[in-house]
Every structure is written in C-alpha cells, then in structure tokens.
Amino acid sequence: MEVLLMKIMIVDDEQLMRQGIIKKIEMSGLPVTIIAEVGDGLKALRMLHEVMPDIVITDIRMPHMDGLEFLREAFQLFPELQFIVISGFGEFEYAQKAIQYGVMDYLLKPVDKAELKESLIRIMDKIEKRIQHSSLGERFKHLQNRNEESLREQMLSKFIQYGANNEQSSALRDEWLHTIKLSCSNFVAVVFVLDSFKLPHLSFRKQDEKLLWFAVQNIISIVLEATGRAGVLFRHAMLENELVYVLGGESPIKANDLHRELEEILGGIKLHLKLGATIGCGTSVNQMDNIQQSYQQAKLALRNTIIHGSGRVYLTDKEHVRDGLHSVISREDEALLLGCLSECNVGAIAHWIEQRVERFAASEQFLFTHLESFCVEFHLLLRKYLLTQTSIPEWIIGDLDDTLTWLHGLKNWREISAQLIEIVENIIGHLYKLRHSSEYSLIDDVKLYIEHSLHEPLNLQMIAKQFFFNPSYFSRRFKEWFGESLVNYLTAARIHKSEQLLEDPKLKIQQVAELVGFNDAAYFSSVFRKSTGLTPNQFRISAASANKSLSES
C-alpha cells in the first residue's frame, strides 16, 4: 500500500523551539512535510482553512490565544485533526485538559527526538486506518472542499487579471479580501513566480505538487504576517507557476518598505525548499477595485528578468517608468541608421544594435520599460525610412503591435539583437525585390511561387521568408489581397493542380498526391472528395469520358 505524506503545522511562540522541532522531524525520515509554522494560536486558527494539516504540534502557553483555547476552537472546526501538545513541567494540568480535544500525546520540553518520532508514527498509523475505513460521503466532502478552493482561485485570478465588474463583485465576497477592503485604504499586488521544478523534489513525491505550493505559501505568509501586514495569498488559476499576494494597509504602501521582507522570502524558499523564485511588486492603489493596476505593474516589473535575470525582487519605480517614455535613440543615431539603410549596410546596423543592447543590459538602471521604448523607436525609425521606398512598410516590418508581441515573448535580452538584425535583413532583401518590380507584381510573384511549390510543405512562415515579409502582417493581409485565407488558397490550388494531373492515366493516385503536397494518398482522397464531390478515381473516369466525347464530336 502506498504511504501517505502527512502535512504538519507547528504552533509555538518561540522561533528557536519551532526550528528545533522542524529539525527533529526532518531527521526522523518519516513521510511528512511541514506546511506551516505559526507564532500564536489566533494566526494558526486562521491558517487551518488554508493549509488543511493532518497533524498539529502546539505549545500550551502562547500570546493572543493560548494552546488550550486554540485546541478547543480547532477541535470544533476539524474534529478529525490530530494534535501533539508540548508543555513544560508546571503545565501538566493543561495537558490533561487537552486530552478531551482528541490529543493523543503530549511531550515535555525540551522535546526528545525519539519521543517525537514515536508520537508521529502512532498518529500517522491512526490517520491511515481512518482513511482506509472512511465512508464514500467523507471522501466526497474532501473532494468538494478541493473544488471550492479551485473555484475561489479562479474567481480571485479573474478579478486580479481583468478587474471585470461581475468578477469584482464575486471576488469581493471572498471573506479575507472583503475584510481587507473594509479595514484598509491602500492596496498593493505582489507576484511570486517560481522557477521550473521537477517532482520528486526533496521529500515531495510526484503527486505532492500541491503540498510543495503550500510550503511556498507558508514561507510567504510567515514573513509578511510577522510584520503585521494584512493580506490575501492565492495561486493564480490560469498561470500555475504564479502566486499573488494582495496586501492592505492604512497608509500608502511603499514598495521599498517591502523590499527587505520580499528578499527574506526569496532566501526562505531557497533555503528550505531549494527552489528559485522571482518577485514583482506593483505600486499602491487607494481602491481595491483598482488592484489590477498594481498587479499589471508587478507583472511588468517581472519582465526585467529578460535583462537582469531571475531570483531577484523587482519593484515598480514610477520615475523609471516615466523615464522609459523619453527618447532612447538620439538624432545622431537616427541619422547614422538612415544612412546605413540607404547604403544597404546591414553589417554596420548589426554592429550598432549589438553594441547598444549589450550596453543596456550591463546597466542596473536599465529596465524593461526602457527596452520597450528602444524597440518602439527602432520600429518607427524603420517605418519612417520605408515610407520613402514603399507605400506599405507593414508588409516588411509589421505594425507596432507585432513588435510588442515578439518583444514580450522573448526570454533573454540576447534574443533582441538577433530579432532586430533579422528585421533589417528582411528590409534590405525586400527593397532589392521592390527595385526590380512593382508591389502589384510582387503579389503575382507570390502566386507564381505557390503554384511552383505545391509539392512542398508550404506554410505562412516559408512564404513570408521567401519574400522578406513580416509573417504576422502577411497573415492578416493575405485574405485582403487574395480573397481567402492562406490555408483555403493552398487547398484550392492543390486540388486544381491535381485535377490537371489526374487526366494523365500514367500517374498513380499516390504520385498525384505527392506532386501537390500530400504524403498520404488516403488523406488526399478525403480532401479531394470534400472539395469536388468525387473521389480521385471517379474524377479521372469522368474526365476521361468527357475528353472522349469531345474527341468524337
């Protein structure tokens, strides 16, 4: 039988005591994971709903809500939750009272490693037996709770992502989010992106991905709640490597004030889970309804990983955002580039691009917003030059949205130079063709190229590359120029060509299929029949009969 991985929460107001217990548990070799460590009973009670532990190890005497009161409240909420109580020599009567709340064991301070392991084994055995004999109704209830949490994550994710009115009203009914909205007047979104990982990892097995994310959430909650900050933490339902923390405060929350805590979180994830992460932080907004603005800023801050790498905290600096709106390409640079374009000097432009991008990447002050401005200005400069050569520059470089789309899809700043140089090469190649033919004859050239290449696996990228077109723009404009989509145009051209070939009785159906770009004769026959209403053989017989009638008449 498969051994279950048990989830443990530790509740003790002494951090050294918590760390000592964690160390002893890790040394035990038992199939368990620490999903939460909390400093008082009140916080622990709030976290029970979020982390759903199997076992709670708690001290008796703690501030705000002592261990006995915590046990009583927790037992009422989760009757099947198992507890181990830690007490001092003078607290034996408290430990005795705790038995009525389902406490199986109590341990004296300092906690003995062997005794702790024995207690855990007894409790784990009890839990496993209960699970084996649990009713279908109990299993269904557990599944229902998981579904409810999934729906909550979807609701909060849509709210933070889009801020649609209907999602806002639904999301704000979330208990914790609603509480923060009522008690706070300023809000900030913090986004945590975990580096890719493979399970099994440390003590986490292949099926323990959810537990690993719980452990990450626990580290985040412990650090931020230790400062007294109120917040709601959830995993993004559509971006599964992302956690979002909506933070509330009475006064505007400055990102710089959060920097130390966020760095501590990165360190905690690396130390305890041996994983890397990157954090983006937005600026403060004064209404919960506007929190998606802070979220989008946090996401934009994370784009700085393209330049400066992952494993860092990226804050949103409003001054730097405004700086990104200033010109990055000087007038001298513009004159140099326009001259090189006129001379078709690709090498000089490539050298300029590589030097400029490398200089940007070497500067800590250079942000993604500056890189975005640079690419936009470069696009506009190319467009300005192309308008002196052709009436439709978008054929070659696409429109501004195309530039922003490929920029936001890059993983590393080194890819930027290659992309920009390729665009310049396309310009020079396309202008060479233009100088030897009109734009309208270029369209005829495209038709001719397709007609002569039907035997090849033609696609949009192949044709665009042949004529130095921007693929995205070419895709959008193809239907305007040719009256139908590229897929439909290719299919019609192939069927028309195959009809001509089928009139030659020496050619087999498989040969005809290959000559018009179909490797599979059966698939060719299916497409042919759908287009003409006849199979290739039926068409061949019909065509032969028609030709015979013509010759006899």
* Per-residue pLDDT in tens (0 to 9) along the chain, 553 residues: 344 678 899 999 888 888 899 889 988 878 888 888 888 888 888 888 778 888 999 888 787 777 778 888 888 888 888 999 887 755 555 555 655 555 667 788 888 888 899 899 888 888 877 776 665 455 555 545 555 666 777 788 888 877 645 444 455 556 667 777 777 888 999 999 999 988 888 877 777 787 788 888 888 888 887 777 778 889 888 887 899 999 888 888 877 778 999 999 999 999 888 999 999 999 999 888 888 899 999 999 999 999 999 999 999 876 554 554 456 788 999 999 999 888 888 889 999 999 999 998 888 888 888 888 999 999 999 999 988 887 778 878 888 888 888 888 888 888 999 999 999 998 888 777 766 665 446 678 888 899 999 999 898 889 888 887 878 778 877 877 788 888 899 999 999 999 999 999 899 999 999 999 998 899 999 999 999 999 999 999 888 877 766 666 5
Contacts 24+ apart (CB under 8 A), 154-158: 154/237, 156/232, 156/234, 156/237, 156/244, 157/234, 157/236, 157/237, 157/238, 157/239, 157/244, 158/237
- Phi and psi at 241, nearest 5°, equal -95, 15
Q: Which of 182, 265, 192 is nearest to 223 (CA)?
A: 265
Look up tokens 């099994």; give the residue. 200
Question: What pLDDT shows up at residue 324?
Answer: 46
Distance CA 99, CA 456 (A): 78
Q: How far is CA 361 from CA 6, 282, 328, 397, 477, in A?
A: 46, 22, 14, 24, 36
Q: What are the tokens at 241?
A: 């490597």
CATH code at 148-316: 3.30.70.270
Distance CA 152, CA 154 (A): 5
Predicted TM-score (pTM) of the model is 0.58
In the three-class reduction of DSSP (H, G, I as helix; E, B as strand; rest coil), residue 189 is classed as: strand
Pick the CATH number of 440-552 from 3.40.630.10, 3.20.20.70, 1.10.10.60, 1.25.10.10: 1.10.10.60
Q: Which of 2, 57, 52 is nearest to 31 (CA)?
A: 2
**Domain spans in the chain, listed from the N-terminal domain onward:** 6-133, 148-316, 331-434, 440-552
Q: Which CATH class is domain 6-133?
A: alpha beta
3-state secondary structure 477-510: HHHHHHCCCHHHHHHHHHHHHHHHHHCCCCCCHH
Give burial (CB, 10 Å; 0-12/13-18/19+) of 27: exposed
Distance CA 193, CA 199 (A): 17
Determine the longest span between alpha carbons in the chain, in angstroms: 120
For the chain, how far is it from start to end, CA to CA, in angstroms?
A: 85
Which H or E element spans position 369?
A: helix 368-386
